Amino acid sequence: MTGRLGIVAGGGRLPQRLIESCRAAGRDVFVLALEGAAEPEIVRGVPHAWCRMGAAVTGLSLLRENNVTELVLAGSVRRPSLATLRPDWRAAKLFARIGYRSLGDDGLLSAIVSEFEKEGFRVIGPDQLLNGVLAGTGPLGAVQPNPQSEADIERGLHIARAIGALDIGQAVIVQQGLVLGVEAIEGTDELLRRCAALRREGPGGVLVKVEKPGQERRADRPTIGPFTVALAAEAGLAGIAVEAGATIVLDWDEVIGAADLAGLFVVGVRYSWP
């Protein structure tokens, strides 16, 4: 029998969608909400506890005390410096072993997943709990990319592959063949805001978002939602291209409706990593 599910919750809509899905399925859930990341409203009426990110001993104890056997990591977290993180002895031991400062986000998340598994938890991905959330191939809405956008998507895929292989980020914005920006520690939302000021005259650019080669899929799948579409529209983009079969699309109907209303395309594309 499947045991109690623990949701380690960061920011954004994903933790809320997981909680709603568990409620609908009658799944017993406990939320470990990360201070400074998770939104307070998501845990109202749900068994939960708050924990700061550097308090590994407290977090593990809370999960065990609440009989959690399976874990899902969900939501965005801005990576803090070690000084801000204030790791306890358990977290400090892990970070010293893996080299916190030298690892990219995926390397760090992979190490954290491995540590949870060593502690006896079964770690699963959000897509294993939310049916039909991964983007398929082709347009999601009524708008389709034109030849210029298709060329920008192709260039964006190659750039995204390069930065992903270096564990830098998942996304890039390309306009008329020019790279306006690549995602780093700031995340996709800030990338879109930053590139709004860099937009050139003529056809709008494209946000291309893919998973990193060899990425730990249970911890950090590329994700878009209605807010991504809103920011892309504000940045004057022509559309969004995401990796089919790898990218979580939250609130499909809202994404499609917002994209169609703004005249943006959202398209799933296949890319074979060598």
Task: List the CATH number of the domain containing 199.
Answer: 3.40.140.80
The pLDDT tens digits of the residues spanning 218-259 come to: 888 899 999 999 999 999 999 999 999 999 999 999 999 999
pLDDT at residue number 51: 95
Cα(220)–Cα(50) distance, integer angstroms: 21
Q: What is the mean pLDDT of residues 130-140?
A: 93
Do residues 169 and 239 both lie within one domain? yes
pLDDT at residue number 274: 56
The pLDDT tens digits of the residues spanning 170-203 come to: 999 999 999 999 998 889 999 999 999 999 999 9
pLDDT band at residue 109, thresholds of 50, 70 and 90?
A: confident
* DSSP H/E element including 104: none
Cα(206)–Cα(242) distance, integer angstroms: 10
User: How many domains are there within the chain?
Assistant: 2
pLDDT band at residue 1, thresholds of 50, 70 and 90?
A: very low
157-160, Cβ contacts within 8 angstroms, sequence gap of 24 or more: 157/208, 157/210, 157/241, 157/269, 157/271, 159/208, 160/208, 160/209, 160/210
The pLDDT tens digits of the residues spanning 5-40 come to: 999 999 989 999 999 999 999 999 999 999 999 999
Mean pLDDT of the chain: 91
Do residues 142 and 263 both lie within one domain? yes
Q: Residue 207: is its pLDDT beyond 90?
A: yes
The pLDDT tens digits of the residues spanning 242-251 come to: 999 999 999 9
Pick 175 or 111 by higher pLDDT: 175
Q: Residue 94: is its pLDDT beyond 90?
A: no
Global pTM value: 0.87
Q: Residue 77: is its pLDDT beyond 60?
A: yes
Pick 67 or 82 by higher pLDDT: 67
Do residues 67 and 153 both lie within one domain? no
How many CB atoms lie under 10 A from the CB of residue 167?
18
Cα(116)–Cα(123) distance, integer angstroms: 7
Q: Which domain holds residue 251?
A: 138-269
CATH number, position 91: 3.40.50.20
Cα(274)–Cα(51) distance, integer angstroms: 40
Q: Which of 86, 103, 128 is the last residue of a domain?
A: 128
How many CB atoms lie under 10 A from the CB of residue 136?
14
Q: What is the mean pLDDT of residues 60-70?
A: 96
Do residues 107 and 194 both lie within one domain? no
Q: Which of 166, 167, 162, 159 is nearest to 241 (CA)?
A: 159
DSSP 8-state symbol, 245: T
pLDDT at residue number 239: 98
Q: What is the mean pLDDT of residues 137-158?
A: 96
Q: What percent of the chain has pLDDT over 90?
A: 72
C-beta of residue 175 within 8 angstroms of C-beta of residue 204: yes
C-beta of residue 191 within 8 angstroms of C-beta of residue 182: yes
> Quick check: is 26 in a domain?
yes
Do residues 223 and 113 both lie within one domain? no
Do residues 107 and 205 both lie within one domain? no
